[in-house]
Amino acid sequence: MIAVYPGTFDPITNGHFEIIRRASTLFETLVVAVASSPEKSPLFDINERLNMVNEVLNAFSNIEVKKYSGLTINFAKQSDAHVIVRGLRSPADGQYEFELASMNKRLADDIETIFLSSGDQNAFISSSLIRQIAQEGGDITGFVHPVVQSALIKKYGK
């Protein structure tokens, strides 16, 4: 069975990695879908994000990394996926994620959404928080892969 784990991954964090690692054990193929998301004004362009995600996930044999734009549900259909994987960091994420899953179910009744909760050590990690810490010269060791840490240091010059 094919599943899709979508996100902007600007940048990919250890929280994302945890969800990806766990989801990769549940599905024959996991497509990590990197959204172009121009409305979010990402720090890294789509190719930089694709390269980072590929480097972080290169040890997995059942993961494909692809870029996409538009509706996630349409990308899932094009990928022949039957499941969309979403990560939950806290109960606060739940309301938005439930609304999104409900809308996706209305748009494609044959695609399910499953939620994986973050472990305690990653529940507070978000890409925006990591970018903010890196921008201010803070230590992000332990929150992101070394490849991502180097890219953030290069981007911010700190």
The residue with tokens 């044959």 is: 110
List the chain pLDDT tens, one digit each, 158 residues. 999 999 999 999 999 999 999 999 999 999 999 999 888 899 999 999 999 999 999 999 999 999 999 999 999 999 999 999 999 987 777 889 999 999 999 999 999 999 999 877 877 889 999 999 999 999 999 999 999 999 999 999 86
Residues annotated catalytic, as ranges: 16, 40, 89, 127
The answer to pTM > 0.75 is yes
Integer angstrom CA distances of residue 139 from 105, 112, 132, 150: 40, 38, 11, 12
Q: For tokens 């994302």, what's the residue? A: 16
Helix (H) or strand (E) holding 127: helix 127-135
Q: Which domains does the chain have, with CATH numbers?
A: 2-123 (3.40.50.620)
Comparing CA positions, the residue from 54, 53, 63 lying closest to residue 85 is 63
Going by their DSSP bridges, the two strands 112-117 and 2-7 should be labelled as: unpaired
Any idea how long the chain is? 158
CA 142 to chain centre: 17
DSSP output for 42-67: -SS-HHHHHHHHHHHTTT-SSEEEEE
